[in-house]
Amino acid sequence: MQGLQAHGHPIQLVTYGAWHGGLRELLPTHREFTALTLSASLDPGRGATTNISRLHFDTSHLRRALEPAGLACPPMDQQLIGVYADAMAHPT
C-alpha cells in the first residue's frame, strides 16, 4: 500500500462490503474484474477476514515453463507494481 501511495496512487481503506460493492459497480465498464468479483461473492466471509498482505505467490512453475524459450519474468518489486498500477489507473 505504501508503495502505491509513493507512486502517486491515492489509497482509501474501506470495509470489505464497500470494496465488493465498488467492484460490482465497475463491472458494466470493466469486465476484467468479473473473476475477482465472482470469487469474492462466492465466499464473502473468507474475503472479509483475509489479509492480502500475507498472501504468497509462487511463480516457480511459470519460470520453469518459460525458461526453455529464453523468457524470464522480471522480479516483482515496487517498480514493477508501479508499472501495473499505472497501467490499471490509465488504460489506453
HSE at residue 15, side-chain half, CA atoms within 13 A, is: 5
pLDDT score of 69: 96
pTM: 0.47
Please give the Cα distance from 28 to 6 (Å, whole number).
30
Please give the Cα distance from 15 to 21 (Å, whole number).
10
pLDDT score of 55: 60
Residue type for position 16 = Y
pLDDT score of 70: 95
Q: Which three cell numbers stand for residue 52?
A: 492480502
The DSSP element (H or E) to which 21 belongs, if any, is helix 16-26
14-33, pLDDT tens digit by residue?
888 888 888 888 888 888 87
10-residue mean pLDDT series, the chain (92 residues): 78 82 85 77 64 68 93 85 81 66
